[in-house]
Each structure stands twice: as structure tokens, then as C-alpha cells.
């Protein structure tokens, strides 16, 4: 009798856990974050502009956002890339690509976190960018200048766009970002981290990709969503199994 009840309980538990894991996994896939310019849900956008065009087939950004992503002091965030003189075009293209990834990608679900900010309800945290993407970004910005290592906070916004705050010296990028990993993690307050994985590994997010080969970040999101829901599952099920074992031992089920 006790054994039958136990088996039934276990089966029920496994069933509930499986349903729950599948649901939490799909909630992390093919989603847009709740932020300033994102669409509610990803969908095709035939007219995405230049560097944002890889996301045409399925995108969280509108055509308008993709166009604005290519401008200086755009309507998106009024952000001034040239706060320490002109940023070189080779460097700026990485910031445009970063904006396209942030605004357009439907594959960042595993790293979306709720935040209490006036301009957005969700952010991304520690997205593992492929190491070559961080490396190239850092190398191409070698000859540009900046005055801060955190570009989210601490600017002087009195003119309607960001300028260097008093006392922050304009110096070569490498002074504020000594390594590619420092650039990727520090600049947007840990929105990204430099992954140790390489492009094409299926284990890191590519800022750049050729859409003719499909979007490589779909597989990456699936992998991390699976890993995260498996982690959550074992954390959730373990206490249940323990209490079941305890109940059995105490004879409560016999």
C-alpha cells in the first residue's frame, strides 16, 4: 500500500516538474524585454536598416528603431558617441551593432532580469558575448577616446545629451577598458560578459552574424534556457524529494 502511494506521488511529482520546466523554458525563448523601445513580441520586419538587418526574420525592434540605431544622439537615448571627439567609424560600428543586438534580438530571454528603472522594467544581465566579438570591439576602439568606464551612469545630461562630467578626463579607450572583457562587462553595467567560448560554438551570443546561415543565437538561447530550467528544477524538486523521504521514514505514508 505504502509503496503504491509512494510511486503515485513520485509520478505526480515528476509530471508536475516536467510541465513546469517546459513552461519556464519556453518563457525564456523568443521573447522581447519590457524596455523603452522593444516591441511586445518578436515578429518579422522586412525593412530593418543596415546593421540591424540580420534580425529581419524575427525581431524585437521596429524599422524606426533600426534606423535610429545608426544615428548619433538619436531619438532612442540621446546618446552621444562622440563625447571625447569623433569616435572612429571602425569603433562606432560595434556600438551600432551592440544597439541592434540589444533592441532587435529575440534570443536574450535567458538573461532578462526585472529592474526598477524609470525608463525600463527589464534589462539584460551577463549575456555571454563570444570572445572574438569582444576582442574585435576592443581592438577597433583602440584609437578612440572616452572619459568613463560605465556608460550607463554619471554623465552630464544638462545639454540634452551626455557629456563628460567635470573631472572625467578624455583618454584612450584602453585606459578605461584595459581588456576586451573589461569593455564588454563594464560599459553597460554587466549587460554583457566576455564569454570564453568562440563564435560558432553554440555557447555564446554573437553580436555579428550572417543571416544567410540562420540566427546562431537561437540555439544558444535554447541551450542556456535548458540549463537554467534544469537548475531551477533540481533546486525545486530536491526539497520535495527530501520531505517525501522523511515522510516515508516516519511512516506517515504507511
Ligand X SMILES: *[C@@H]1O[C@H](CO)[C@@H](O)[C@H](O)[C@H]1NC(C)=O
Which residues are near ligand X by CB under 6 A? 64, 67-68, 75, 116, 193, 195-196
Which runs of consecutive H residues, i.e. helices, occur in the chain? 2-26, 63-68, 89-104, 131-140, 173-176, 180-186, 217-249
With a CB cutoff of 8 Å and minimum separation 6, the contacts of 123 are 33, 35, 112, 113, 115, 117, 191
* Whole-angstrom distance, CA of residue 83 vs CA of residue 96: 16
Residue 108, exposed/middle/buried by CB under 10 A (0-12, 13-18, 19+)? buried
| Between 147 and 181, CB nearer to ligand X | 181
* Whole-angstrom distance, CA of residue 50 vs CA of residue 67: 8
Q: How far is the CB of 68 from ligand X (least distance, A)?
A: 6
The neighbour count for residue 83, using CB atoms within 10 Å, is 20
8 A C-beta contact, residue 42 and residue 30: yes
Q: How far is the CB of 197 from ligand X (least distance, A)?
A: 9
| Between 68 and 186, CB nearer to ligand X | 68
| Between 195 and 217, CB nearer to ligand X | 195
| Between 67 and 97, CB nearer to ligand X | 67
Q: How far is the CB of 100 from ligand X (least distance, A)?
A: 14
| Between 75 and 175, CB nearer to ligand X | 75
Q: How far is the CB of 23 from ligand X (least distance, A)?
A: 24
Q: How far is the CB of 76 from ligand X (least distance, A)?
A: 9
Amino acid at each position: 500500500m505504502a509503496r503504491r502511494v509512494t510511486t503515485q506521488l513520485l509520478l505526480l511529482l515528476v509530471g508536475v516538474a516536467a510541465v513546469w520546466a517546459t513552461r519556464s523554458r519556453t518563457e525564456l525563448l523568443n521573447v522581447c524585454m519590457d524596455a523603452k523601445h522593444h516591441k511586445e513580441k518578436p515578429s518579422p520586419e522586412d525593412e530593418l536598416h543596415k546593421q540591424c538587418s540580420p534580425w529581419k526574420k524575427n525581431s524585437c525592434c521596429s524599422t524606426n528603431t533600426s534606423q535610429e540605431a545608426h544615428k548619433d544622439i538619436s531619438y532612442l537615448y540621446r546618446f552621444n558617441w562622440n563625447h571625447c571627439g569623433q569616435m572612429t567609424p571602425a569603433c562606432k560600428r560595434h556600438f551600432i551593432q551592440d544597439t541592434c543586438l540589444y533592441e532587435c534580438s529575440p534570443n536574450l530571454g535567458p538573461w532578462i532580469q526585472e529592474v526598477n528603472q524609470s525608463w525600463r522594467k527589464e534589462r539584460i544581465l551577463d549575456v555571454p558575448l563570444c570572445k572574438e566579438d569582444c576582442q574585435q570591439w576592443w581592438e577597433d576602439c583602440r584609437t578612440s577616446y572616452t572619459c568613463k568606464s560605465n556608460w550607463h551612469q554619471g554623465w552630464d545630461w544638462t545639454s540634452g545629451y551626455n557629456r563628460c562630467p567635470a573631472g572625467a578626463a578624455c583618454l584612450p579607450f584602453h585606459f578605461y577598458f584595459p581588456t576586451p572583457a573589461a569593455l564588454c562587462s563594464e560599459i553597460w553595467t554587466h549587460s554583457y560578459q566576455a564569454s570564453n567560448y568562440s563564435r560558432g560554438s553554440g555557447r555564446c551570443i554573437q553580436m555579428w552574424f550572417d543571416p544567410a546561415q540562420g540566427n546562431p543565437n537561437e540555439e544558444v538561447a535554447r541551450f542556456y534556457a535548458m540549463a537554467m530550467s534544469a537548475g531551477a528544477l533540481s533546486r525545486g524538486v530536491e526539497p520535495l524529494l527530501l520531505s517525501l523521504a522523511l515522510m516515508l521514514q516516519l511512516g506517515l505514508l504507511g
